[in-house]
Structure 1
Amino acid sequence: MIKAIETKLKGCFILQPQIFEDERGYFYESYNHKDFCEAIGREVTFVQDNQSFSKKGVLRGLHFQKGGHAQAKLVSVLQGKIQDVVVDLRKDSPTFGQHLSIELSDENKKQVFIPRGFAHGFLTLSETAKVFYKCDNYYRKEAEEGIKFDEAIIGINWKINKEKIITSEKDKTIYSAKIFK
């Protein structure tokens, strides 16, 4: 059983699994295709799983795949805590250019479903974090795009001082200005 709450960004859901806890620890079903599709009201077939490990202050993103290579994602945290951020890039959406920020952790066990047409990124808030996400389309390098994490038009309030954020060289220089025109 999974509880799905649609966010202000249509098609983007926060998911909370049912957790069974006792003196031994806990158990929960992190993914069940039938329950997941029923909860979000549509069919999504994931074809690729990804994991990342990051140290505190590492920011990965804001990334997306363009065109026919766009990816929907189901993001969760196996260890640690992150600030997960999605940005609506769907030009026909009433929430185009708006973003959602949510804390995901191994403690709250929340997941976020991100439909195609969104940029995605996350900031590691704990000493380390292991992030796991499913994608409904295969990664294609030639379709890779990104937006700088501190893009003023979006106005994301990252939970740590900007000077303490660690990004890759690629993430420091990526920017698709044409997205917001």
Structure 2
Amino acid sequence: MRPLSIEGAWIHEPKVFPDQRGDFHEWFRGDAFAEITGQELRLAQANLSVSRRGALRGVHYADVPPGQAKYVKCVRGAVLDVVVDLRTGSPSYGRWESQLLDDIDHRAVFLSEGLGHGFLALTDDATVVYLCSEGYAPEREHGIHPLDPGLGIDWPQDVPILLSGKDAEAPSLAARERDGSLPSYARCRAYREGLRPAR
């Protein structure tokens, strides 16, 4: 794993072992994960979504504490995965970074508590699995419109966008700043400190 430009986000680029039967790779190891990120991933929920080409899911985030850290992988097809720093007071607040996740290179992205997440399906039947540190709790979940110019995410122009009703009605980043629902960088860092494994 290596860190992304947004503190609290990493990408895993596994070594893939192909042979005449197919291929094999490790997409998660708890000990290596804890050593690199400095925290353990508490698994509370595992999700799987299948999306048609153009389906755009997100940008979603959760209240911290406890937030919802995610370890995300595309197991079929391809998606453009986006991490957005929504933590007020963060040095990279408002910045986003994208990664291609697909069933060829088998990359996975980890985003810690307080970061926003979304992805755009680049193929039909794009299948994404993600491990979550906390279960879904609608009262703690929030969204920002993924096409908000205030975020300025550079989604591919050649893919027709399909949003859920909820995501289409999500407010802008500026509206979330005004309503006070964005997570605090200091609070997120303090919460993550409490997740460090005992030595």
Taking structure 2 as the reference length, what is the TM-score of the superposition? 0.84
Matched, 1:72 2:69: yes
- Report what 1:125 is aligned to: 122
Which of 158, 168, 171 in structure 2 is aligned with 1:175? 171
CA RMSD in angstroms comes to: 1.5
Q: Which structure 2 residues correspond to residues 134-149 of structure 1 after superposition, within 5 A?
A: 134-149=131-146
Q: Which structure 1 segments of 5+ residues have no match?
A: none
Specify the code of the residue in structure 2 equivalent to 1:125.
L
Which of 19, 42, 47 in structure 1 is aligned with 2:44? 47
Matched, 1:115 2:112: yes
Deviation, structure 1 residue 128: 2.0
Provide the C-alpha distance between the structure 1 equivalents of 2:157 and 2:81, rounded to a whole number of angstroms: 13
Consecutive aligned runs of 4 or more in structure 1 exceeding 6 Å deviation = none
CA contact (8 A) 1:71 1:135 kept: yes
Equivalences, count = 177
- Report what 2:96 is aligned to: 99
Deviation, structure 1 residue 178: 4.2
Specify the code of the residue in structure 1 equivalent to 2:9.
C
SS in structure 2 of the partner of residue 45 of structure 1: coil
Q: Which structure 2 segments of 5+ residues have no match?
A: 179-199
Deviation, structure 1 residue 44: 2.4
Deviation, structure 1 residue 180: 3.6
SS in structure 1 of the partner of residue 104 of structure 2: coil
Identity of paired residues, percent?
37
Specify the code of the residue in structure 1 equivalent to 2:142.
E
- Report what 1:159 is aligned to: 156
